[in-house]
Amino acid sequence: MAGWTTLVQPDVLAMALQRPDVVIVDCRFSLADPLAGEHAWHASHLPGAVYAHLERDLSNMARHGEGRHPWPDEHAFLARLQQWGISPSTQVVAYDDGDGAIAARLWFLLRVLGHEKVAVLDGGLKRWIALGLPASSVSPRPVPAHYAGHFDRSRLLDAAAVEAHLANGGILIDARAPERFRGEQEPLDRVAGHVPGAINRYYMNNLQETGQFKSPMQLAAEFRALLGDRDPTQVVSMCGSGVTACHTLLAMERAGLRGGKLFTASWSGWITDPARPVATGP
């Protein structure tokens, strides 16, 4: 059976809830209250869904100087996948209760492991509930699986690699809101502005007003306008901490533009060195 590799629609997933090869991962998280997502999961979640905590499972918060959500340790992440019952052949579906950014972080983590069968629930939990689809408060007991693999480090860039990328004519897309990119507002980081040479495409522009992703054709047209004739492998995505940047990479792959890279530390990592330049304005 062909897998879902970017998005899956709620009605399609609802028909696959009993499939033994499908693992659903609830990625709800709030920066304002890091425990809120897990508490909400305990109360109600998609049937069978395990819980992924952004800072405990999808980041390595012990790393300093690598932004607010440092890329996780490979061994720890593989161990967590195994605990969730995920093997390289598992169809993984990630969801959150917002715009899909946290779910996209898990999507990209798995993609960098070479895992193809991973998708984000289009419209997230809100659309699932709006359609009247089932929920559960029963905590799953996944059967542990085996997962051996390695991150493709060529798709993960640090600040020095980003500087070299820009010097070589590569594209750096900053997914933050325009006012943060311009340096007019900065609610999370101590310095406002952006990496000189970056271009701004707010990640929310990947979505329709309904909260679902735009069509592949529409996304392809919009990204092609940014990329010109350059290959998608020449694109590096960034944001504040390397989370919403994954939303951009998911949208690009939905548009058939595969191979984009991630500036893992993003803006919060860039500004840890005061010698690095900061730009403001459009």
- Quick check: is 239 catalytic? yes
Given 120, 239, 246, 257, which residue is catalytic?
A: 239
DSSP string, the chain: -PPP-SEE-HHHHHTTTT-TTEEEEE----SS-TTHHHHHHHH-BSTT-EE--TTTTS--TT--SS-SSPPPPHHHHHHHHHHTT--TT-EEEEE-SSSSHHHHHHHHHHHHTT--SEEEETTHHHHHHHTT---B-PPP-PPP--------GGGEE-HHHHHHHHHTT-EEEE-S-HHHHTTS--SSSSS-SB-TT-EE--GGGGB-TTSSBPPHHHHHHHHHHHHTT--GGGEEEE-SSSSHHHHHHHHHHHTT----EEESSHHHHHTTSTTS--B---
Residues catalogued as catalytic: 239
